[in-house]
Structure 1
Amino acid sequence: MLLAVDVGNTNVVFALFEDRTIRARWRVATDPRRTADEYAVWLLQLMQIQGFARDAVRQIVISTVVPRALHNLQVLADKYFGLEALVAGQGLAEWGFVADVDEPRSLGADRALNVIAGHAAHPGQHLIIIDFGTATTFDWVDPQGTYKGGIIAPGINLSLDALVSAAAKLPRIAISVPRQGESVIGRNTEDQMHIGVFWGYVAMMEGLIARMRAEIGQPAKVIATGGLAVLFDRHTRIFDHVDPDLTLDGMALLAERAIAAAQNRTQE
């Protein structure tokens, strides 16, 4: 089995793959100070509870947008699984696509993995991939799988936190569909905040995608991923496909490529 470890700015997701199928997943808050031993106590207990043996893990791949978290996860792989972890974007796990932008090395690992998985699932098409995370990113992938650029916008939770922290009298609300449906005129402070956050975000997405499509100048399929993709999909028609596991699927593809590359080197 493959253990994929996806380190985001907010959470670390551990996913167990068997033949490209996710068998289990677990999530913990991102903390660069968390040691390998702390990860092991938490992870190995969860694996045992769900009936997965430690020695069933034959390969580990780590993707991180938090560089300080990498070392302890590599130690986890070595100390508790006896494996040398692949690091997404490095060595045998290089991205394998062209980033046609000014600073290719600045492309985040999560976005690169979305490019890989998106192009593999929808080859020969222009893609706009939206990823709802700490930031919301919009990425253009051309029919050859080349990354052509994109947009970084504040994530919806980040926007809400900024609003609440800067305005002392505003209450903290949850991200949800406004209770008055599609009406955009609220009758009280809390409803008005829900409208501004939710429908404002929908309008931002629809506007940016329309501008991207106009600039691309050809039909582009819109792929949405991340935790809030399903929520927004119910209230806008801009998504052609929703894949909550796109980033993890990219990690599984990258691990397969690394195995093939290692075998080729052995044969040579």
Structure 2
Amino acid sequence: MILVLDVGNTNIVLGIYQEKKLLVEWRLSTDYKRTADEYAIQVTQLFYQSGVDMKSIEGVIISSVVPNIMYSLEHMIRKYFNTTPIIVGPGVKTGINIKYDNPKEVGADRIVNAVAAYDTYKKALIIIDFGTATTFCAIAKNGDYLGGTICPGIKISSEALFERAAKLPRVELVKPDTVICKNTIASMQAGIIYGYIGQVDYIVDKMKKEMQAKGEEVPIVVATGGLAKLIAKDSNTIDKVEPFLTLDGLRIIYQKNIE
């Protein structure tokens, strides 16, 4: 079995794979102030509650967009799992040719998503990851990473509205049935969610046109991340929702680097 960790700005998502099967998935809050031992206490408890023996973990792989948390996590893995983790970054085999001006600027999570999506579909793709930031990534039909777009995440947009407008409350991210709403909370929810759906569809349409103008086939649009299902229900452009895309990508990259 292997342990995979996707370290985001808000959450750390952990998964255990036995070959290609995801056995269990957990989420922890990202906190760079925690020590290796503090993370170990949390992780040990998760293993215990799930009935998984930590000694059964043969290897670990991590992707991270939070550099200042990595010392604690790497130290925790070495101390409590007695192994050195693979860190997704320069020098790690991914099978993806990155066509960025500076390939080192591409977030590890975006590369991992591209690996998983292309492994599944083997076609041109647009990948949308609804995280703290929302990322749009264009993948060519030959698997090249062409580039993409980064937007403020839906939660960031919601918090900004609450913090900067004195009379507006913090609202739950629930989609109203209509956009003509009769109270402030529903009006804010409609604006945030339907506005975000419109943004997603507009960006995807533009990316499709740019890709096809360069000779690419019509791409499949794949969404992942915590709010993917909420947005996909009313989106005109999202074809597939893959909730475990990043974890699957980590599993695939791990196998590429031990073979």
TM > 0.5 between the two?
yes
Following superposition, the deviation at residue 80 of structure 1 comes to 0.6
Alignment-derived partner of residue 84 in structure 1: 84
What RMSD over aligned residues (CA atoms) do the two structures have, in Å? 1.1
| Aligned-partner SS, 2:149 | strand
Alignment-derived partner of residue 220 in structure 2: 221
Alignment-derived partner of residue 264 in structure 1: none
Alignment-derived partner of residue 142 in structure 2: 144
CA distance in 2, matches of 1:34, 1:129: 32
CA distance in 2, matches of 1:220, 1:26: 31
Alignment-derived partner of residue 181 in structure 2: 186
CA distance in 1, matches of 2:55, 2:90: 25
Alignment-derived partner of residue 171 in structure 1: 169
State how 1:16-165 maps to structure 2 within 5 Å: 16-91=16-91, 93-123=92-122, 125-165=123-163
User: Identity across aligned pairs (percent)?
Assistant: 39
User: Where has structure 1 moved over 6 Å in runs of 4 or more?
Assistant: none
Following superposition, the deviation at residue 95 of structure 1 comes to 2.9
Following superposition, the deviation at residue 128 of structure 1 comes to 0.4
CA distance in 2, matches of 1:16, 1:215: 38
Structure 2 segments unaligned to the other structure (5+ residues): none
Could you report, residue by residue, the CA deviation over 1:99-151 in whole angstroms, capped at 9, with x for unpaired residues?
A: 1121211000000101111111111x210000000010111000111000101
Following superposition, the deviation at residue 204 of structure 1 comes to 0.6
CA distance in 1, matches of 2:190, 2:84: 48
Q: Would you say the 8 A contact 1:89–1:95 is kept in 2? A: no
CA distance in 2, matches of 1:47, 1:78: 17
What's the TM-score, normalizing by structure 1? 0.92
CA distance in 2, matches of 1:35, 1:70: 10
CA distance in 1, matches of 2:235, 2:106: 28
Deviates more, 1:30-39 or 1:153-162: 30-39
Counterpart of 1:229 in structure 2: which amino acid?
A
CA distance in 2, matches of 1:71, 1:223: 32
Alignment-derived partner of residue 265 in structure 1: none
| Aligned-partner SS, 1:252 | helix
| Aligned-partner SS, 2:4 | strand
Following superposition, the deviation at residue 90 of structure 1 comes to 4.2
What's the TM-score, normalizing by structure 2? 0.95
Counterpart of 2:206 in structure 1: which amino acid?
R
Could you report, residue by residue, the CA deviation over 1:67-103 in whole angstroms, capped at 9, with x for unpaired residues?
A: 1111111111111111011111244x33332111212
- Tell me if 1:209 matches 2:204: yes
CA distance in 1, matches of 2:220, 2:25: 28
Mark the CA change 1:162 to 1:191 in structure 2 (over 3 Å): closer, same or farther.
Answer: same
Could you report, residue by residue, the CA deviation over 1:22-45 in whole angstroms, capped at 9, with x for unpaired residues?
A: 111221111112111011111112
CA distance in 2, matches of 1:138, 1:116: 14
Could you report, residue by residue, the CA deviation over 1:5-58 in whole angstroms, capped at 9, with x for unpaired residues?
A: 111010111111111211112211111121110111111122012110111001
Counterpart of 2:130 in structure 1: which amino acid?
F
CA distance in 2, matches of 1:100, 1:63: 20
Structure 1 segments unaligned to the other structure (5+ residues): 261-268
